[in-house]
A and B are shown apart, each in its own frame.
Chain A
């Protein structure tokens, strides 16, 4: 058994290319729908924010006033501030594409980007779980 073979490069490149193709197809399929952010507090949907309105908004949810969100005019949203110790949610940065998510586990808050105006109708067949 060898440490490294030349065919490894081909195998690796094919895997990377395949993942990029899937990613491209996914972006293409979700391109047309207006994205929105859904904010959950312990699995309870507490707020829905439309991302395509071009607003600049700093807000927090009533359940957790110490967690501050920031919606940017370019349609991205992030955890601006949080009182949690690990700050993973803040470090995740701005998210804007359908399927992206950010979470603040210590506060039980998750935020995900979805598409479509009706969450009950799946409008993307290849997608896994983003329409649940």
Chain B
């Protein structure tokens, strides 16, 4: 249970050059879009809070953050928001962007500050919670009057649940990804 799993960074950025990184980022971006489409097909969660989702596409962002680097992770988040703007409109895109940027930034801080003392699950949970909070900040700005205090438990608990889910899924698909991207 407590054994160290093989999650050492691949360091593709240095070993295989820029083109490889760009291609990998593009592939992960495509993966994140497919994951969010897949998520859209699932039945809606029985939670009456707009914006609360599983956040499956965070798997792609987390992979990029851990194994390629911060810049590709930000790149994927920004590209994905642009895609959301095109398909679902400005407000949805803004929500996606604020949640994505906040979550990557906090995961980065945690990852580099507490490198060996923090677990992947906690980083993932942090990412999911901050994604929810970042989105909610924009919602509260748009609909002045939405109270973050009322929705806080929902945002936190759903963040914990989806954070654990994405961490477990990432761990499950990691061997396959490593096999493909060797």
A contacts, CB < 8 Å to B: 1-5, 8, 11-12, 15-16, 19-20, 22-23, 25-27, 38, 88, 91-93, 95, 97-103, 105, 110, 112, 114, 126-130, 132
Contact = CB atoms under 8 A, between A and B. Distances in A.
A11 B152 contact: no
B179 interface: no
Interface magnitude class on chain B = 35 or more
A93 B47 CA distance: 9
A26 B150 contact: yes
B122 interface: yes
A38 B150 CA distance: 17
A19 to B, nearest CB: 4
Contacts of B125: 8, 12
Contacts of A132: 144-145
Given A2-B119, A92-B50, A129-B140, A101 B156 contact: no
Contact of B150 (A88, A100, A110): A100
Given A1-B119, A12-B122, A100-B150, 12 more contacts: A2-B119, A8-B119, A15-B156, A19-B152, A19-B153, A25-B149, A88-B50, A99-B151, A101-B143, A102-B48, A103-B143, A129-B144
Nearest to A132: B144
Nearest to B171: A3
Given A8-B119, A15-B156, A2 B145 contact: no
B87 interface: no
Interface of B: 1-2, 4-5, 7, 44, 48, 50, 89, 91, 115-116, 118-122, 125, 129, 140, 143-153, 155-157, 160, 167, 171
B156 A130 contact: no
Nearest to B7: A1
B149 A128 contact: yes
B48 A3 contact: no
A26 B147 contact: yes
Contacts of B44: 91
Nearest to B120: A3
B120 A4 contact: yes
B120 A98 contact: no
Contacts of A97: 150
A15 B164 CA distance: 14
B39 to A, nearest CB: 15
Contacts of B116: 1
Nearest to A23: B153
A128 B140 contact: yes
28 contacts: A1-B7, A1-B116, A1-B120, A2-B5, A2-B119, A4-B167, A5-B2, A8-B119, A8-B121, A15-B156, A19-B155, A22-B149, A22-B152, A23-B152, A23-B153, A26-B147, A98-B147, A99-B147, A99-B149, A100-B150, A102-B48, A103-B50, A110-B145, A112-B143, A112-B145, A128-B140, A128-B148, A132-B144
